[in-house]
Amino acid sequence: MTPEHDGRIVSLVMRDLAKKLAATLRTTSIVYHLSGRVGGTWQLGQKVPPVATLQLDVLDFNRLASGRLTPEEALSCVSLEGDTALAREVLNHTNVPY
């Protein structure tokens, strides 16, 4: 993985995921913190303090977003903080095939 290539892919997936989650998040926001070489921190939703954080490895995020890892399987490798009910709902909608 390189920031030039794979980092760009992660950024594009996050852009698409933000659009998909807009109705779910409504007036709130969440943070995805992805660890790894091309990871980073993304706040999705409104520009207000986030109510939940999802932390996982960037590779697991890519597997989840591409449909190669189910939300149930992802629970073993993700850390949910804050509003865990919303975080789980977001996790269930983290699917942006690419």
Q: What is the pLDDT of residues 25-68, one digit of tens each?
A: 999 999 999 999 999 999 999 999 999 999 999 999 999 999 99
pLDDT at 1: 58
Average pLDDT for the chain: 95
Q: Which CATH fold topology does 6-92 show?
A: Nonspecific Lipid-transfer Protein; Chain A (3.30.1050)
What are the start-end ranges of the H helices in 1-98?
A: 6-25, 58-65, 71-74, 84-92
Please check whether residue 68 is in contact with residue 38, taking contact to mean a CB–CB distance below 8 angstroms: no
Cα 51 to the center of its chain, rounded Å: 14
Domain chopping of the chain, boundaries: 6-92
